[in-house]
Structure 1
Amino acid sequence: MGCQKSATWPDLRLGCYGCVLVDQTAEDWSAAYRGAARLCGLLV
Protein backbone atom coordinates (compact mmCIF):
# COMPACT_ATOMS: atom_id res chain seq x y z
CA MET A 1 0.00 0.00 0.00
CA GLY A 2 1.16 3.51 -0.66
CA CYS A 3 -0.02 7.07 -0.41
CA GLN A 4 -1.08 8.50 -3.75
CA LYS A 5 -1.25 12.29 -3.96
CA SER A 6 -4.62 13.34 -5.33
CA ALA A 7 -2.89 15.74 -7.73
CA THR A 8 -2.62 12.74 -10.04
CA TRP A 9 -6.34 11.98 -9.72
CA PRO A 10 -9.33 13.53 -11.51
CA ASP A 11 -10.88 14.25 -8.09
CA LEU A 12 -8.41 17.14 -7.74
CA ARG A 13 -10.76 19.12 -9.97
CA LEU A 14 -13.59 18.29 -7.58
CA GLY A 15 -11.75 19.81 -4.67
CA CYS A 16 -10.27 16.75 -2.98
CA TYR A 17 -6.65 17.53 -2.10
CA GLY A 18 -6.14 14.72 0.40
CA CYS A 19 -3.95 11.67 0.24
CA VAL A 20 -5.64 8.33 -0.30
CA LEU A 21 -4.32 4.85 0.28
CA VAL A 22 -4.44 2.73 -2.83
CA ASP A 23 -2.93 -0.57 -3.84
CA GLN A 24 -0.08 0.56 -6.08
CA THR A 25 -0.29 -2.73 -7.98
CA ALA A 26 -4.05 -2.56 -8.54
CA GLU A 27 -5.05 -2.93 -12.17
CA ASP A 28 -8.62 -1.79 -11.56
CA TRP A 29 -7.94 1.92 -11.20
CA SER A 30 -11.64 2.76 -11.67
CA ALA A 31 -12.35 0.85 -8.46
CA ALA A 32 -9.46 2.63 -6.73
CA TYR A 33 -10.86 5.97 -7.91
CA ARG A 34 -14.34 5.13 -6.63
CA GLY A 35 -12.80 4.26 -3.27
CA ALA A 36 -10.96 7.59 -3.22
CA ALA A 37 -14.11 9.46 -4.21
CA ARG A 38 -16.02 7.80 -1.36
CA LEU A 39 -13.33 8.90 1.08
CA CYS A 40 -13.70 12.42 -0.26
CA GLY A 41 -17.47 12.28 0.13
CA LEU A 42 -18.01 12.70 -3.62
CA LEU A 43 -19.81 9.40 -4.14
CA VAL A 44 -21.92 7.15 -1.98
Structure 2
Amino acid sequence: MSETRGKRSFLRRSDDWRYKLSSFADQRLAANASVTMMGDLAAVG
Protein backbone atom coordinates (compact mmCIF):
# COMPACT_ATOMS: atom_id res chain seq x y z
CA MET A 1 0.00 0.00 0.00
CA SER A 2 2.72 2.47 0.97
CA GLU A 3 4.62 1.57 -2.22
CA THR A 4 1.63 2.60 -4.35
CA ARG A 5 1.27 5.85 -2.44
CA GLY A 6 4.98 6.58 -2.93
CA LYS A 7 4.69 5.91 -6.65
CA ARG A 8 1.69 8.21 -6.97
CA SER A 9 3.46 11.05 -5.12
CA PHE A 10 6.53 10.57 -7.34
CA LEU A 11 4.41 10.80 -10.48
CA ARG A 12 2.75 13.93 -9.16
CA ARG A 13 6.17 15.44 -8.41
CA SER A 14 7.55 14.60 -11.86
CA ASP A 15 4.47 16.15 -13.51
CA ASP A 16 4.90 19.29 -11.41
CA TRP A 17 8.61 19.44 -12.33
CA ARG A 18 7.81 19.03 -16.02
CA TYR A 19 5.16 21.77 -15.81
CA LYS A 20 7.58 24.18 -14.13
CA LEU A 21 10.30 23.37 -16.64
CA SER A 22 8.02 24.03 -19.62
CA SER A 23 7.01 27.36 -18.07
CA PHE A 24 10.50 28.83 -18.61
CA ALA A 25 12.22 26.41 -21.04
CA ASP A 26 11.43 25.69 -24.68
CA GLN A 27 9.80 22.41 -25.74
CA ARG A 28 13.03 20.91 -27.08
CA LEU A 29 14.78 21.36 -23.74
CA ALA A 30 11.78 19.89 -21.93
CA ALA A 31 11.82 16.88 -24.26
CA ASN A 32 15.55 16.36 -23.67
CA ALA A 33 15.02 16.56 -19.91
CA SER A 34 12.18 14.03 -20.10
CA VAL A 35 14.37 11.58 -22.03
CA THR A 36 17.18 12.07 -19.51
CA MET A 37 14.78 11.49 -16.62
CA MET A 38 13.48 8.31 -18.27
CA GLY A 39 17.07 7.10 -18.64
CA ASP A 40 17.75 7.83 -14.96
CA LEU A 41 14.61 5.94 -13.93
CA ALA A 42 15.66 2.97 -16.06
CA ALA A 43 19.11 3.00 -14.46
CA VAL A 44 17.59 3.09 -10.99
CA GLY A 45 15.06 0.38 -11.85
Per the shorter chain, which TM-score range? 0.3 to 0.5
| Bigger-Rg structure (1/2) | 2
Between Structure 1 and Structure 2, the one with more strand by share is: 1
- Larger relative helix fraction: 2
What TM-score do you get using the length of structure 2 for normalisation?
0.37
TM-score, normalising length: structure 1:
0.37
Q: Which has the higher contact order (CA 8 A, sep 6+)?
A: 1
